[in-house]
Amino acid sequence: MLISFPKLDLPLQEADRIVIPPMYRIMQKYDDWHIQDVSGHLRKQLESSVLDRERLRGKRLALTVGSRGIPDLDKLVRTICDTCKAWGAEPFIVPAMGSHGGSTAEGQRQILAEYGITQEAMGVPVYSSMEVEQYGVLEDGTPLYCDKNAWEADGVILFNKVKPHTDFRGKHESGLGKMVAIGLAKGKGASVFHTKRLSRFPEYIPKVTEIFMKTGKVAFGVGVVQNAYDQICRIEACESTAILDLDARLQAFAKTQLPRFKFDRCDVLVVDEIGKDISGSGMDPNITGRNDTGDFPGVLDLQRLVVLGITEASCHNGCGINLCDLTVRRCLNEIDWYATWLNNVTASMLSRGQIPTYVETDRDAVLTAIRTCVETDFDHPRVARIKNTLHISEILVSEALYQDIKDREDVVLLSGPEEMLFDTDGFLRKDIWGQEVSDP
């Protein structure tokens, strides 16, 4: 459901006081070690970690594939499937992404197809359904659900990215346990699980995972961690009994890989795009400091957050648009509000679909954001611009920010200062971002 928002001409008082500063293009440097041959590395991990392979021979195994973007996801999925077939098993793929894709079987199949995960490319069937089977209850009576196709298989391969969550902290956040509690539970189970307080998710995720493991359905697990450059820096596999140990270990490691801005205070942060493929919150609060629960103080002292667009891979899901202070009309017109609000209702987080203040153009958004800051040097505002929160190595910063960080060894000047590049209609050019590397 797309909504055509009307054009608004918000008057900007004292606009002549506002300066959009020239920007320096800089590189923020992080640990860039990553796995070069992800398929070969994964194959070795499977062979060395999954030792009891004879029990998988002749078994139908459901491989979970979620909606979060992972580099070379198609290669990883194909490697798991090919390895299982070499072991004599019969793997197939199930979308395991809660209510994403509009909470429809076809929508979830389409998300996988956009990642290159199709029956033709993977050489195994892709079974997409929103039907679930109940397999247990929590101690308080909360029912637990599993994708019907996965439940009817002989075993489930738990495969997922492991990363810090956007709204809570604990040993188990986004990862293999969350795949059980929410991803495999589809829309119905995800909705039920989200009736719990977010602050208690670290307690409930391992409980649900333990109950699922007792059903004997888990075949083995595979976890993936990405570095600050969105490159895969760790892949580990484990036997079915070690799922929670692997999940906790990779979560602890993933926290060490989180990128952060090299500055701690900013007046205005401009984000070119948000999306569910970027983060469950559209943009990662571990970077912006903005989330729905307010649990991440101290990440970034930020006055105004501007969002200019939605990623194509997000399928028009605008979850997280509420976290910005300002956006533009054409961004709101790109959002499928039905899919967005459905996702929010499932997650019991209605605030994620609230509509922020919007203006007509990117130039209006930047000017308004600067103007509405308080106790700011309007002649030298602290402004930064990023493509999205997955890519914060190459960024743009104003003079005031650059002077604060220019002497750091992990900051490299690439070019500038240069004026922000607006087209004749007042929109920023979005084709300015280069390929991120660790050195210029």
Predicted pLDDT of residue 251: 97
Global confidence as pTM: 0.81
From the CB of residue 426, how many other CB atoms can be counted at a distance below 10 Å?
16
Whole-angstrom distance, CA of residue 91 vs CA of residue 102 = 26
**Tokens matching residue 347:** 């997650």
DSSP state of 145: E
Predicted pLDDT of residue 295: 61
Predicted pLDDT of residue 119: 96
Predicted pLDDT of residue 436: 42
Whole-angstrom distance, CA of residue 239 vs CA of residue 301 = 43
Predicted pLDDT of residue 68: 77
Predicted pLDDT of residue 438: 37
Whole-angstrom distance, CA of residue 231 vs CA of residue 364 = 35
Predicted pLDDT of residue 91: 97
Given a cut of 50, the residues of the chain with pLDDT beneath it are: 435-440
Whole-angstrom distance, CA of residue 302 vs CA of residue 352 = 19
User: Tell me, what amino acid is at 394?
Assistant: E
Whole-angstrom distance, CA of residue 137 vs CA of residue 157 = 22
**Tokens matching residue 243:** 């799922």
Whole-angstrom distance, CA of residue 366 vs CA of residue 383 = 9
**H or E element: which one contains 287?**
helix 285-288
Predicted pLDDT of residue 175: 94
Q: Which fold has domain 38-256?
A: Rossmann fold (3.40.50)
Domain ranges within the chain, ordered by starting residue: 15-30+260-418, 38-256
**Three-class DSSP category at 397:** strand
